[in-house]
Amino acid sequence: MPATGFWIRRIQWPLMETFKENRTRQYMSEMLLAQSLEKEALLESQRKKLASLLDHAVRHVPAYTEFAAEWETNRDLPERFLQRLPILDKTRFRMNPDPYLSRHANPAKLIGNRTGGSTGEPTRFYLDRPAVERYEAARWLGLSWHGINIGDPCVMIWGSPLELNQQQQSRHRWKERWLKNRLILSAYDMDEKQLDTYRKLIQRFRPTYLYGYASALYTLASMLKQRGLVLGIPLKAVVSTAESLYEHQRKTMEEAFLAPVINEYGARDGGMIAYQCRKGHMHIFSENCYLEVVDPTTGLPLYPGEAGAVLVTDLHNTVMPRLRYQLGDVVALSTQTCDCGINYPLLKQIDGREDDMFISQQGGLVHGHYFNHIVRNMDSFRTFQIVQHEPNHLSLKLVKEPSSYQPADETRLLAGIHDALGDVSIQVAYVDHIPPSASGKTRYAIRECPLTTAHGME
């Protein structure tokens, strides 16, 4: 609703700034200025922020005070010093989070948060308002690269039934509608009948953009395409977040929504990390976070261009700093630049989750994309899910595409899996449907056995 957007921009936000000291727009203008800085100036700005965070952590955060003396002699080289600190993986943090809370954190101002826990126990952590506002600022900046303004109407396509239940509470719905100009629809268990209702709701709301999980947006796009329908409203963008965006999903969404598909890379426990620009590159918000990429089995740093485990240091979370936090994603950094006018550094690629990496019998790592790629080149299967329970024991669920199914494709698929993983046992089952996990995300490739027992560096 355009009028609501105007009200939000001109009245609600200035009021929030005056009375609630909300600094999102201020942070956004700082980040907007920074995006035009030269590479060296950007690095220097990030270095200063990192040094100040490290200084704070070794003084006030029990988990890091033992490094105080070492920091004193390395103050000029914050990046180098950071590399000597232990990698913080989720399990270790989850088992013992208290030492990461700053002694100076004001309990009244802490904001509790937790990850969804779709792949295990939820991780609980704290932030404060300024840290949350920095994430928001980064998201609005990323959206502004595509002509989207604060308060522009948005339809969120969510995959989770939990969100829908929350949404049913009228207060929440009112807030979404009038304070955020947002309409939330759940693609979880969406059927043909609902598709018509959703289409009408979206047409009536006239969003500037759609926003949601890749799999949820893809579900809606596929259903529209199958019925030969379009939304029939001009969209500036379709923003995919929270899970890997596969090329076939992007293609289907672009065809169904007739709008560019933009990838947002963030994590509840890692902040807003990178956003896709108009030229299709992922720019890292280096004013907000410091990224490292390491070998997931040894923990040693990798060169730009090499894919490995991403470690995130959120430069503004001073209430509960998590230095070198291993998010669980596999990415590669890039030394390339982009000519779109934004100088934030680039991510070369985001490969998905470490959990999506499989272990071969030879000890190598095979990405889940590999299986996806084989299946996508066959017409026999609508979808699939492969699970590595033990290094030598896997199960494979397949959903047939009845009109074009050929039994020989199963043999070819199994041969492909054996090629990559070696002599493993694979239990095959044909099913009608592969339900998404509790969080609403659908995963094609899941590894249940550990990738590695320990990370060096300690």
Binding site for Zn ion (CB under 5 A): 277, 279, 281, 338, 340, 342
Helix (H), strand (E), coil (C) string for 317-330: CCCCCCCCEEEEEE
Cβ nearer to Zn ion, comparing 202 with 274: 274
DSSP string, 243-277: S---HHHHHHHHHHH-S-EEEEEEETTTEEEEEE-
Min dist CB 271 to Zn ion, Å, is 20
Min dist CB 144 to Zn ion, Å, is 13
Helix (H), strand (E), coil (C) string for 290-313: EEEEECCCCCCECCCCCCEEEEEE
Min dist CB 208 to Zn ion, Å, is 21
Cβ nearer to Zn ion, comparing 49 with 146: 146
Q: Are strands 308-314 and 289-294 parallel, antiparallel or unpaired?
A: antiparallel
Rounded Cα gap, residues 302 and 448, in angstroms: 25
Min dist CB 146 to Zn ion, Å, is 12
Min dist CB 3 to Zn ion, Å, is 33
Min dist CB 34 to Zn ion, Å, is 14
Min dist CB 276 to Zn ion, Å, is 8
Cα 219 to the center of its chain, rounded Å? 18
Rounded Cα gap, residues 438 and 119, in angstroms: 10
- The set of residues, in sequence order, having a beta carbon less than 8 Å from that of 259 and lying 6+ positions away, is 209, 210, 234, 235, 236, 237, 238
Cβ nearer to Zn ion, comparing 282 with 330: 282
Q: Which long-range contacts (CB under 8 A, 24 or more apart) does 22-30 make?
A: 22/129, 22/133, 23/130, 23/133, 24/133, 24/136, 24/137, 24/140, 25/137, 25/150, 27/133, 27/134, 27/136, 27/137, 28/137, 28/140, 28/141, 28/144, 30/137, 30/287
Min dist CB 334 to Zn ion, Å, is 11
Rounded Cα gap, residues 298 and 87, in angstroms: 11
The amino acid at 49: K
Q: HSE, CB side, 13 Å, CA atoms: give it for residue 287.
A: 22
Cβ nearer to Zn ion, comparing 236 with 281: 281
Neighbours of 6 (CB within 10 A): 13
Cβ nearer to Zn ion, comparing 341 with 435: 341
Min dist CB 349 to Zn ion, Å, is 15
Min dist CB 140 to Zn ion, Å, is 17
- Give yes or no for a contact between 337 and 344, defined as CB atoms under 8 angstroms apart: no
Give the residue among 109, 145, 150, 104 at the shortest CA–CA distance from 127.
109
Cβ nearer to Zn ion, comparing 36 with 361: 36
Cβ nearer to Zn ion, comparing 277 with 413: 277
Rounded Cα gap, residues 299 and 315, in angstroms: 21
Min dist CB 386 to Zn ion, Å, is 34
Min dist CB 280 to Zn ion, Å, is 8
DSSP-derived letter for residue 347 is: E
**What are the beta bridge partners of residue 183?**
155
Residue 64, helix vs strand vs coil: helix
Cβ nearer to Zn ion, comparing 78 with 142: 142
CA distances from 277 to 101, 130, 283, 284 (A): 35, 25, 7, 10
Cβ nearer to Zn ion, comparing 52 with 335: 335
Would you state the structure tokens that stand for residue 86, as one six-digit string?
């232990």
The amino acid at 367: H
